[in-house]
Structure 1
Amino acid sequence: MSRARRTLAAAVTLAVASTTLTGCLEEASPHEAVRDFLVGWQSNDYELAASRADGDPAAVRKALADAKLQLDAASFRFRIKSLTVTGEESRAEFGVEVDLGDNNPLWTYDSVLPLHLHDGAWKVKWSPSVLHPQLKEGQRFAVKAEPKPRQPVVDRGGDPLQQDTFLYVARVVPARLGDRAEEVVKQLSQITGYAEDRLLSRIRSAPPNETVPLITFGRTRYQSVKPQLDALPEVETVTEKQPVDPADPKQIVGRVSALTPETEQKLGGPQRAGDSIGQSGLQQAYQGYLTGSTETEVIILDLRSGDEVASLQQWPGRQNRSVQTTIDSGVQAAAERAVSSTRTGAVVAVDRTTGEIRAVATRGLHQEKDALAGKFPAGTAFSVVAADALLRAGVRTGQRLPCPAERTVGGARFVNVGQATGSSPTFQENFAQGCVTALASLARRVSGDDLAKSAKTFGIGESWRLPLKSFSGSLPAFGSDADRARTIAGQNVQVSPLSMALVAAAVASGTWRPPVLVTDPDAPDTAAAEVTPAPQPRPQQLDPQVRKTLTAMMRAGAQGTPAQAGSGRVHGVASAPTGKDNNAWFVGWQGDLAISVYTRAYDPAAVAGSFFAAVGDSP
């Protein structure tokens, strides 16, 4: 909750409290003095509160105001528990609720207002113990705050997916500022844009002899303000290592920045100087886990020595933790190397038996927006899904189907841009070569429901739980033979590289599984993530006999292609370039890794071969 909202909440509470107190305490008695003192304290009307105390009014006003500054409190709220009167003495027991701001828990404690008759009027017997039972003359409140260092995003082996880099933290020691505190803060505010009152309140609430971090800078920002900071001798700037420089896959891991006035105002806490803010990717989605929350302690200090006298309350804060991903750094390096040969391309690799994402690499595309969440025409790579429906409908792999250069189905025209395979190749040969005219001719052999069922079996259109934006694919409505023909040819189907990698994994393992990118923690920080996780769909088992046939078809589809440049048995199917962008796909697997390769104006099978070869060469 922002400080402005907390103040509003306190005002509402005050209105209710005032009404309650006024309604209950109408008699000329200690009630009126208790009411006025607490209402004045709560509403910052220290003049009213001081008028009901027997101490020096100026000293009472200052003590109440100082208490709020020393605690950096957003508000005080009170609740009367009991009031007893014995002759000319009275005792009011009340509960205190202090909002310390910065998203810290509320500090609650019980205290006592001692009262007596003074010149015929009830007065609060003033002493520092009115503020807190343990506070004495010559003492003050203070708040110790210790932000936790950011934890890393790690790969499946526990190695960090980012490198340490330096942030620059401007800090002060309150006792050394003397009477220049307000002037120093004013200049810092002008240099950095941070609000004066927030900087000053952090200084005043901190133990005087402890170092207080105030502002964090990234390298570029720090260099621009360094001369102005150097002109303030009371301000010391130190460097702090934080794991914020992302390694591959950089856009999946995400970028981190230092806290700025804008992000501090937007987030409202628990961030303080020294903290870092995830701006994208997993760094943003898991911000709350990676930074935890600030450790806070309310203490009493001796004004003369500055020593800590007592600890009144401590909040350890939420423990921060690293985020464990399924990325395999060796596989990621292989994918980066493979895609580097293209001008525009993406490689997504998943574990075929778990759906865990092992690598996401792109060139000329964005890893999250395109590789995970892109919406691209599937082309004849979708024939894997269509073949599932066709095989279940009784189409045999040996059935002869002409592969003409052009064909019209239901009024829709199809042009074969791949290599012809003879006058009457088999269904398996047409599948392997991606003959769009032959595949489209099978539109009358399946219904729209058949195609939709197969698409669902392969997760197309499913909602899954992933902490980043992603796209599982979409199908059109099936109103005609032409619609079904276009679907079999993948012309009216949209998919992402991630969704097609999962299609390959489903054939390889016999079961479609939803993707997994993070194994710990279970869910992202919902306050920071851009995506609200959906329930995870259940795995879908393929028909065993159909899967066996599809495996053989995809083995044939990889034969004689550059995808076999790597060692071992490669299964897959490639699509010829289509559309104005020359979109092309390779979808397949080798060993435990299922992949999809999406390229523009480049052979995706060659990228797949490079990837499998690099994986084989990796440690």
Structure 2
Amino acid sequence: MEAMDPRFRSMESTNRRTFLTWSGLGLATVSAAMLSSCSAARSASPTTVADQLATALHEGDIAGVPMVSTPPDTRAFLAERMKGSQRPNVEVLGADESDEGASARLGFTWPSFDPGQSWSYESQAQLVKIDGEWRVRWEDSILHPELEEGQGLALATIPGERARILGQNDVALVSNQHVHLPGINKEGLTDEQAAASAKKLAAVLDIDPEGYQEKVAAYGPEAFVDALTLRRSDFLKLDSAALKTITGYEAMTTTMPLSLDRGFATAVLGTVRQPSAEDIETRGDAVKDAEWIGAGGLQEAFDEKLRAAPSFRVTIRELDGSAPPMSQGPLWEQKMPEETPLRTTIDVDLQKAAERIIKNTDSPSAIVAVQPSTGDILAAASGPEDNAYPTATIGQYAPGSTFKIATALAMLRHGDSPQSTVQCSESITVDGQTFKNAGTYLPDHLGDISLREAIAQSCNTALIDKHDSVSQGDLATAGEALGIGAEWDIGIPAYSGNIPRDDAGTEHAASMIGQGRIQTSPLGMAVFAASVVRGRAVCPQLVPEEKPARELPSDLTEQEAAQLRELMRAVVIEGHLDRLNNHPGGEVLGKTGTAEFGQPDPARGGFPRTHSWVIVAQGDLAFSVFVEDGDYGSVTGAPLAKEFLDAAYEAR
């Protein structure tokens, strides 16, 4: 026989995560050697004794029931055989008396996790009269009519299968998948052997050896101690030859909710974990029977919806431990509730593309895509340097020159148009602070130029020059018309931004170019671009069945929106996003942005570090690209934007 691959050895019998937790309900036949009851009160009728039995079965102690033979410890007698179970409600349905004795009909009702699915049946209890007193003759069939002597009831608690999280077109983003838990079975090992095996396994798995050795040492002498949880694809990559040499190595198999790929949309979806003692103490019955609870993202926000209630299955078991007949099915099985998945707006192809495109960025980053017509969040990717922090949805950053679209809107409301002349100087001083254009700004675009050209070339000084006529309140109102600062509820924390209304002086001047104290998020800027396309403030939605988008107040007119689209189109035709012009997917709108932050950096020639931004729209798609520590938006962000736009076109 071919040797079993050690990666696939099973430890189901010691699996702390197995799905069935069995608790005995069996009642063994009371031995005739048991002492006769001498303390029970005399009963006037069989019905009275039957009532006492019914109450005793519910309360778990037959001490007060007149019995032909009474066990020495009446409470332990029932408790041992009804361990871990809920108590049945038992009532006497009737009693018949004859010369040979009496019989009582008992009605059992067992509650389940679903109040609408209780289990009810009838059984019989036989009574005999001894010395003028009616007594119960115990038989196992009192608990259920199908029980024979030497049999009991076995109740399996089956944790409910956690509901899936779905994306666009009901593609499963999270589903229950097989996982493997490599570990050490300590049974038969000395402490020294267990420690040595733990060290070897840690080396194979590339995990902290001291940490795992401490974990193994903390468990009992016969425990299986898992090292980590692996997807099947990762488990199959383990060195099977090395695993064969580890004494006590075993691997368990179970299932758990996993995203479709490792790391896929983790900041949005969240993860799961087993409930801790603290969880059970603080949340009680809500989680004590749960196999998994949510941790972060949608898994935590909608934990109650996703966490299915456990169910029951009742079977006959042999009290001597022998196996029941294979043909014997369950006496009763609670119907599992139908799954109610959590549906999201995430587009798998776009989410994967966004994650792939920013996976090599060496600072926090994000790509967020929104559908302008609906507000659907199609992708919300945070870079690997974020360590699962949701930069895409709650990162708070100055938007830089992408905000110039809002500044332009404020100027349009003061009578300007895309063709209006503005003054683009090399520098401008406000209250003693000098503002300049980017170091790469071309002198050909200095002097009297149109607002369209100023936006296309991203002239800082031309917009700051308007700080006296465009107030901070005007900027805030314009930004709000494009969604900044709106109240959202997408199901997980999300930041729409903030534009202080009272800033003045240099703070107000900096606000004209999206700096100062203005902040928003990558999601906020994707919504900003989507609002220009739609012609009103867009409210984003991620789980529309649970948290549908609402209509936001917006005073943006169609004429204003058309003029803003003209300005963003100019950025693509003649500005810093010209690489997106003539795209096969159709006309592209966009704006680059750079926002300085921190102190002057000697490594950058004394200039501060910069956030890199790009916002883009094409058809019914709007998205933002953000890199926390990047170069100019046209240098760092634009190539990423081009790659994402191409991916979106190919995914159609």
TM over 0.5: same fold?
yes
2:567 to 537, 543, 553: 553
Cα 1:104–1:504, aligned 2, differ >3 Å: closer, same or farther?
same
Give the direction of change, closer, same or farther, for the CA distance of 1:561–1:283 in structure 2 (3 Å limit): farther
Partner Cα distance (1:97, 1:463) in 2: 50
Aligned equivalent of 2:492: 468
Q: Where do residues 201-350 of structure 1 align in structure 2 (5 Å cutoff)?
A: 218-219=229-230, 237-238=252-253, 243-244=258-259, 246-247=261-262, 249-252=264-267, 254=269, 256=271, 259=274, 279-285=295-301, 292-301=308-317, 306-307=324-325, 311-320=330-339, 323-340=342-359, 342-344=361-363, 345-350=365-370
Q: Is the 8 A contact 1:270 1:294 kept in 2?
A: no
Q: Secondary structure at the match of 1:377?
A: coil
Q: 1:465 to 1:29 in 2, by over 3 A?
A: farther
Structure 2 residue aligned with 1:355: 375
CA distance in 2, matches of 1:231, 1:367: 35
Give the distance between the partners of 1:252 and 1:389, measured in 2 at CA: 35
Residue 55 (1) aligns with residue 66 (2) = no
Counterpart amino acid of 1:354?
A: T
**Distance change in 2, residues 1:229/1:159 (3 Å):** farther
Distance in 2 between residues matched to 1:586 and 1:261, nearest whole Å: 43
| 1:415 maps to 2:435 | yes
Work out whether 1:585 is the aligned partner of 2:609: no
- Deviations for 1:241-283, whole angstroms, at most 9, x for unmatched residues? 975563564424656567577699578677989x666544445
Q: Does 1:424 align with 2:448?
A: yes
Q: How does 1:20-419 map to 2 (within 5 A)?
A: 37=53, 40-46=56-62, 48-49=63-64, 51-58=65-72, 64-69=78-83, 72-73=84-85, 75-76=86-87, 78=89, 98=110, 107=118, 109=120, 118-121=130-133, 123-132=135-144, 135-144=147-156, 153-161=165-173, 166-168=179-181, 218-219=229-230, 237-238=252-253, 243-244=258-259, 246-247=261-262, 249-252=264-267, 254=269, 256=271, 259=274, 279-285=295-301, 292-301=308-317, 306-307=324-325, 311-320=330-339, 323-340=342-359, 342-344=361-363, 345-363=365-383, 364-365=385-386, 369-407=390-428, 411=431, 413=433, 415-418=435-438, 419=441
Q: Work out whether residues 569 and 590 of structure 2, in 8 Å CA contact, stay in contact via their aligned partners in 1.
A: yes
Alignment partners' CA distance in 2, 1:362 and 1:138: 61
- Structure 1 residue matching 2:378: 3-state secondary structure: strand
Structure that is richer in helix per residue: 1
The residue type equivalent to 1:515 in the other structure is P
Q: Displacement of 1:236 after TM fit?
A: 9.1
**Deviation by residue 1:268-313 (Cα, 9 ceiling, x = unmatched):** 677989x666544445555666674545322335667713767543
Amino acid at match of 1:376: Y
Kindly state the Cα deviation for residue 553 of structure 1 after the two structures are TM-superposed.
Answer: 0.9
**Cα drift, residue 357 of structure 1:** 2.5
Query: How far has the Cα of 1:545 moved from its partner?
Result: 0.4
Report if aligned partners of 2:366, 2:381 keep a CA contact under 8 Å in 1: yes
Residues 68-113 of structure 1 show CA distances to partners (whole Å, capped at 9, x for unaligned) of 13xx31x426475778898999888876564668x89884536577
Distance 1:482 1:191, change over 3 A: closer
CA deviation map 1:457-493 (0-9, x unaligned): 3222233332333211123243657665554433222
Cα offsets for 1:482-540 (capped at 9, x unmatched): 66555443322211101110110111232433223346xx33xxxxxxxxx6x632156
Measure the CA separation in 1 of the matches of 2:44 and 2:246.
Answer: 57
Rounded Cα–Cα distance in structure 1 between residues aligned with 2:485 and 2:104: 65
Using the TM superposition, give the Cα deviation of residue 547 of structure 1 relative to its aligned residue in structure 2, in angstroms: 0.5
Partner amino acid, structure 2, of 1:351: Q
The 3 A distance-change label for structure 1 pair 53 and 110 is farther
Looking at structure 2, the residues matched to 100 and 263 of structure 1 have their Cα atoms a distance apart, in angstroms, of: 25
Change in Cα spacing, 1:355 to 1:150, as seen in structure 2 (3 Å) is same
Percent identical across equivalent pairs?
Answer: 24
How far apart, CA to CA, are the structure 1 residues paired with 2:613 and 2:647? Answer: 19
Aligned runs of 1:522-561 on 2, under 5 Å?
A: 522-523=545-546, 536-538=549-551, 542-561=556-575
- In 2, the alpha carbon distance for the partners of 1:242 and 1:554 equals 43
**8 Å CA contact retained: 2:476, 2:501:** no
Query: In structure 2, how many angstroms separate the alpha carbons of the residues matched to 1:398 and 1:288?
Result: 56
Q: 1:338 and 1:80, CA in 2 relative to 1: closer, same or farther beyond 3 A?
A: closer
Give RMSD over aligned pairs. 5.0
Distance in 2 (alpha carbons) for counterparts of 1:452 and 1:499: 14
Question: Which structure 2 residue ranges, 5 or more long, are not aligned?
Answer: 1-40, 184-214, 599-608
1:604 to 621, 624, 633: 633
Measured against aligned partners, the alpha-carbon deviations of 1:354-408 in whole angstroms (never above 9, x if no partner) come to: 2222333343335652111111112232222333343234333333333345545
Corresponding letter in the other structure for 1:612: L
Amino acid at match of 1:299: T
Query: TM (normalized to structure 2)?
Result: 0.66
Partner secondary structure for residue 353 of structure 1:
coil
Q: Find the aligned partners of 1:617 and 1:536 in 2 and give their Cα distance.
A: 28
Deviates more, 1:338-347 or 1:492-501: 338-347
Judging changes above 3 Å, is the alpha-carbon distance between structure 1 residues 61 and 478 closer, same or farther for their aligned structure 2 residues? closer
Q: Contact 1:116/1:125 (CA < 8 Å) preserved in 2? A: yes
Residue 589 of structure 2 corresponds to 571
Q: Which moved more, 1:240-249 or 1:397-406?
A: 240-249
Residues 136, 262 of structure 1: alpha-carbon distance in 2 compared, 3 angstrom cutoff: same
Which sections of structure 1, spanning at least 5 residues, go unmatched?
1-25, 171-189, 200-212, 524-532
Query: Counterpart of 1:608 in structure 2: which amino acid?
Result: A
- Cα distance 1:352–1:27, how it changes in 2: closer, same or farther (>3 A)? same
Distance in 2 separating the partners of 1:539 and 1:126: 71
Aligned letter for 2:347? D
Question: 2: distance between equivalents of 1:32 and 1:118?
Answer: 15
Code of the aligned partner of 1:359: A
